[in-house]
Structure 1
Amino acid sequence: MSLDDERNSGPFGGSGETRTRLPEGEGDTRRTSRSGRSSSRSLVTVVGVVVLLIAAIAFANRGDGGSGGGSDDAKKPDAAATAPSGEKPVEGRTGGIPSGFADTEQGAQSAAANFAVSLGSAEMFDKDKRDDILEAVMAPSSVPKFRSDLDKAYGPAFFKNVGLNEDGSTPSGYQFVSRTTPIGTKVTDFSKEKATVEVWCSGLLGLSGEKSTKPVTSSWFTITMELSWIDGDWKAVTHSQKNGPAPVPGDDRASGSDEISKAVEGYGGFTYAR
């Protein structure tokens, strides 16, 4: 859950156009070259994709009887860091949140990822639902402090900053969006009783609606949780957050508010129990 101030981005300055003086006799070709620019870019994109596919296939097949004299025992890339892995997914739920994680590094990572999803959800903006989430994911000794701190944080000023009414309710005709999606997890410390897990996340926050002044924006952040093994399950003892790492933004066209609203309604969030 990010409590950072909402980021604003302004338009790019300038038109980006460069004027070029053409030699005599070439003026007639200027318009033609411009009109062909789009098709040229498309051709370059297609060629680039084909080249990348060929390179990927060659890389995947490298070392299978090639002439380089490499050993059959050569170490291959380890995909375990990004692949779903091994333990049977948990079957228990506490307040709708997965529970009953294994007392392993993998179990600790799964618990932290699930907790990040819940703590970054829209339900956190509702006092009763927030208390239920804290009871489900936090260690009993940590609940009172977190409840007090979050009750202060989720106040009228913060609600107004994200486009909600002062009581935290969503204005009529709008849809409030708050989602956290784990991208990856990393254990930095582990024992059978305690674990520290970092969760790299992408988040959505904002108000979707035709006249929204607080549109849904994305952010990147890393959550660090200290977990304790309590009564046969992992529980969060502490929770902190820092910005990034953030990738370079792509050139995707921003969707309209109606498209975002339909996506939020049509695509449910995930839970993570690998």
Structure 2
Amino acid sequence: MNPGDGQGYDTDERYGGAGQTRTRLPGDDEAYDTTRRSMRPSRSLITVVGVVVLLIAAIAFANQGGSPDTPSDARGPAPSETAPTGTRPVDTTTSGIPTNHPRTKQGAESAAANYAVALVSAEIIKPRQRTEIIDSVFVPEKKGELRKKFDTAYSDRFLSNLGLDENGEAASGSTYVSRTAPVGTKARSFSSDRASLEVWCTGVYGTAGEDSRNPVTSDWFTLNLELRWVEDDWKVESFSQSPGPAPVNGDNRVSPADEIAKAVEGYGGFTYAR
């Protein structure tokens, strides 16, 4: 939900800026933007703090690959930037978010993908879960500032505009949806202490319900994250987002609200790995 440069987060012209401008929370010209994207008139409210609000059942990048004893010529070509490495994902979590990623380039890419899912999830809009996400994902010196920024962004008025109560819950008969699925990762730069990465994502966002003012729609965007090695894991120091790359929309049949709600409730998410 927030993209940025360490002091603020970037967004694109669909979210209130031009190109990649600084993202800001409501009423804060130096922080983060709450208008994630103009999902048609109703969609402009769906995200906050850059790219926020979601978690979706998508395609896991935890490719199993061959065992260490398998001859290299039997495993196929070596992994590249566009191919999964075969490295298994981490098996530990904090507040449901994968943690303890290895101090490697692959570990940083895996962390970036997993954090993208958490930062743009339905959980981050809920006060208790939001605090847990911030504590799990960000570097220590950013946590206090971000709690205040996010709390201001997700005001009761903002939640009401989304059709949610003060706890971020949808009205009876409706389901709030915000799920992001990483499609791929790329490391722009890497060292043992810092990593600059891109995560290409798609996702579904909105409220599934017969009277919804924000129907569930899909989006494509790239999340840019600056990670730093701290507390024995990769943590987010800043992040920004830009639109696309987006494919041509298919001619899929639009599902009714109850079908979308059942899918969200019935399909779980994944742990991602490079």
Structure 1 length-normalised TM: 0.70
Contact 2:79 2:85 in 1 (8 A): no
CA distance in 2, matches of 1:101, 1:244: 27
Q: How many aligned positions are there?
A: 209
Which residue matches 1:120?
120
CA distance in 1, matches of 2:257, 2:189: 42
Matches within 5 A, 1:177-188: 177-188=177-188
Question: RMSD of the TM alignment (CA)?
Answer: 2.3
Which structure carries more relative contact order (alpha carbon 8 Å, separation 6+)?
2
SS at match of 1:103: coil
Cα displacement (A) at 1:104: 1.2
Which residue matches 1:168?
168
Q: Deviations over 1:24-69 (max 9, x none)?
A: xxxxxxxxxxxxxxxxxxxxxxxxxxxxxxxxxxxxxxxxxxxxxx
Matches within 5 A, 1:81-96: 81-96=81-96
Identity of aligned residues (%): 49
CA distance in 2, matches of 1:205, 1:219: 8
Is it true that 1:8 corresponds to 2:36 in the alignment?
Answer: no
Matches within 5 A, 1:43-82: 80-82=80-82
Contact 1:197 1:226 in 2 (8 A): yes
Matches within 5 A, 1:121-140: 121-140=121-140
Q: Deviations over 1:170-211 (max 9, x none)?
A: 111111111111111111111100001111111211111122
Distance 1:234 1:79, change over 3 A: closer
Structure 2 length-normalised TM: 0.70
Cα displacement (A) at 1:87: 3.2
Q: Counting helix residues as a fraction of each chain, which structure ranks higher?
A: 1
Distance 1:242 1:129, change over 3 A: same
Distance 1:78 1:157, change over 3 A: farther
CA distance in 2, matches of 1:116, 1:145: 20
Contact 1:6 1:161 in 2 (8 A): no
Contact 1:221 1:246 in 2 (8 A): yes
Distance 1:247 1:158, change over 3 A: farther
Matched residue type, 1:108: A
Matches within 5 A, 1:235-254: 235-254=235-254
Matched residue type, 1:270: F
CA distance in 1, matches of 2:37, 2:183: 22
CA distance in 2, matches of 1:156, 1:5: 20
Contact 2:201 2:220 in 1 (8 A): yes
Contact 1:117 1:271 in 2 (8 A): no
CA distance in 1, matches of 2:172, 2:78: 50
Contact 2:89 2:110 in 1 (8 A): no
User: Runs of 5+ in structure 2 lacking a partner?
Assistant: 3-33, 43-75
Which residue matches 1:271?
271
Matched residue type, 2:113: A
Matched residue type, 1:159: L
Distance 1:252 1:86, change over 3 A: closer
Matched residue type, 1:7: M
SS at match of 2:270: coil
Which residue matches 1:32?
none
Cα displacement (A) at 1:163: 2.9
Distance 1:167 1:230, change over 3 A: closer
Cα displacement (A) at 1:159: 2.0
CA distance in 2, matches of 1:105, 1:222: 19
CA distance in 2, matches of 1:126, 1:231: 25
User: Runs of 5+ in structure 1 lacking a partner?
Assistant: 11-75
Which residue matches 2:213?
213
CA distance in 2, matches of 1:241, 1:262: 29
Matched residue type, 1:190: F
SS at match of 2:141: coil
Contact 2:89 2:271 in 1 (8 A): no
Which residue matches 1:72?
none
CA distance in 1, matches of 2:38, 2:207: 12
CA distance in 1, matches of 2:88, 2:77: 24
SS at match of 1:141: helix
